[in-house]
Amino acid sequence: MRIELTRFRVLPGKEDRARAWMDFLRANPEAFRETLEPERMYVETIFSEVVDGVTYLSWYSVQGEGATDVQESSHWLDEKHVAFWQECIDPDFTPQDLTPEVHMVPERVEAAMRPLD
């Protein structure tokens, strides 16, 4: 199982587009849920923050092994995600990863997150 929390910077002038993408995801849970199983994505949460006038998005995820990479997916939502990323996420900003020290979840929840196959 891979646990990540990574912070990315939104390009200046793309803040409204980033908010629109978050609004789209909130309005279309059935679409993003279709992508979770192939990616073995058990939990994915996106946080936003503004620091000194700069917008950042942080992804928290719990993902199983053997996942399909979002860039290899042919699902229409993943294709939109990759396009959003290329348009809005600053490629010159080094993503900031936090290091997981302790992962706490009840055993029954962890067991339920294992792949169906």
Each residue of 82-99: pLDDT tens digit?
999 999 999 999 999 999
CA-nearest of 58, 63, 57, 93 to 1 is: 63
CA-nearest of 20, 8, 21 to 59 is: 8
Whole-structure pTM value: 0.87
Domains and CATH numbers, the chain: 2-112 (3.30.70.100)
pLDDT digits 0-9 by tens, 6-30: 999 999 999 999 999 999 999 999 9
